[in-house]
């Protein structure tokens, strides 16, 4: 595959990390996406913990490509609420940038629908405010070599803003910041009512990151998303970024990880 293949560390229990990394390397994956609180809680996620985790990943012959769940456990940090809530978000993003730099990650996926919901704000006002504030966040993370990958999240996941890929592209264009780009997730795009192949094509060179995912971060025993169309569109767009399997930890543990990686290598190669 032209894109490099990663797997989210949500897919295994933290105590399985060493075994999981060995499996991923053996299967030919290139890296992992990290939910930081799977390393340690935010208050304990210090430089030593970050450096230790990066060393474990790199010792296995992999690399940390990206971050996700960057606002997990941070309900007060809000993109579109009052100034105090946004200041809290901006300060936390400084921390996220430090963690990403320490891990060597270049993308931070921003889904987090409950941290960016618009509530009573009108749609146009919400888009304008989001663009303005994303520029601020871009200025914070950009110097660390980090790009925010803004993700469309469907209503099914608790979102009321940036539900579809076109919405995200519009706000990214309004923000006009090199460190704020579009991230697409196969399942989120499908649940939002769009065709993943068409949305990849429409995003083109603006695509910063891509998730190979099933609804509710489910397993890949019987995939329902249009992965073949997505793969063809990524190839046509000459996408050379990361394609990351996003899946929750499953009852059959690392067997599900093995199955997902084999599926991705077959379909997205």
**Model confidence pLDDT, tens digit, residues 99-113:** 999 999 999 999 999
Give the model's pLDDT for residue 1.
Answer: 56
pLDDT digits (tens, 9 = 90+) for 150-191: 999 999 999 999 999 999 999 999 999 999 999 999 999 999
Element (H, E) at 208: strand 207-213
Can you give the three-state secondary structure of 141-191, one letter per residue? HHHHCCEEEECCCCHHHCCCCCCCHHHHHHHHHHHCCCCEEEEEEHHHHHH
Burial class (CB in 10 A: 0-12, 13-18, 19+), 267: middle
What structural domains does the chain harbor? 4-267 (3.20.20.150)
- Whole-model pTM above 0.95? yes
Q: Residue 127: which residues within 8 A CB-CB, separation 6 or more?
A: 167, 170, 171, 174
Give the model's pLDDT for residue 195.
Answer: 98
Low-confidence ranges of the chain (pLDDT < 70): 1
Give the model's pLDDT for residue 43.
Answer: 95
Assess contact for 29 and 62: CB atoms under 8 A.
yes
Element (H, E) at 33: strand 31-34
Give the model's pLDDT for residue 6.
Answer: 98
Give the model's pLDDT for residue 2.
Answer: 73
C-alpha count within 13 angstroms, C-beta hemisphere, residue 196: 24
């Amino acid at each position: 595959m032209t894109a490099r293949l990663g797997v989210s560390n949500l897919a295994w229990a933290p105590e399985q990390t060493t075994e999981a990394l060995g499996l991923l390397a053996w299967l030919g994956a290139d890296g992992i996406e990290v939910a930081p609180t799977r390393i340690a809680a935010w208050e304990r996620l210090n430089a030593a913990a970050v450096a230790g985790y990066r060393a474990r990943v790199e010792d296995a012959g992999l690399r940390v490509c990206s971050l996700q769940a960057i606002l997990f456990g941070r309900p007060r940090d809000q993109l579109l609420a009052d100034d105090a809530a946004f200041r809290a978000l901006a300060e936390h993003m400084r921390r996220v940038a430090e963690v990403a730099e320490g891990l060597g990650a270049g993308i931070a996926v921003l889904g987090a629908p409950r941290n960016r919901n618009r509530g009573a704000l009108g749609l146009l006002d919400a888009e304008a405010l989001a663009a303005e504030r994303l520029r601020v966040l871009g200025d914070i993370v950009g110097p660390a070599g980090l790009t925010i990958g803004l993700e469309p999240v469907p209503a099914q996941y608790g979102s009321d803003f940036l539900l579809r890929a076109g919405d995200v592209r519009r706000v990214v264009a309004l923000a006009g910041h090199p460190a704020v780009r579009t991230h697409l997730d196969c399942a989120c795009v499908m649940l939002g009512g769009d065709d993943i192949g068409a949305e990849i094509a429409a995003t083109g060179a603006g695509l910063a990151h891509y998730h190979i995912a099933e609804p509710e971060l489910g397993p890949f025993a019987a995939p329902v998303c249009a992965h073949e169309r997505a793969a063809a569109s990524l190839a046509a767009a000459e996408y050379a970024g990361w394609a990351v399997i996003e899946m929750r930890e499953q009852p059959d543990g690392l067997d599900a990880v093995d199955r997902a990686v084999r599926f991705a290598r077959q379909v997205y190669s």
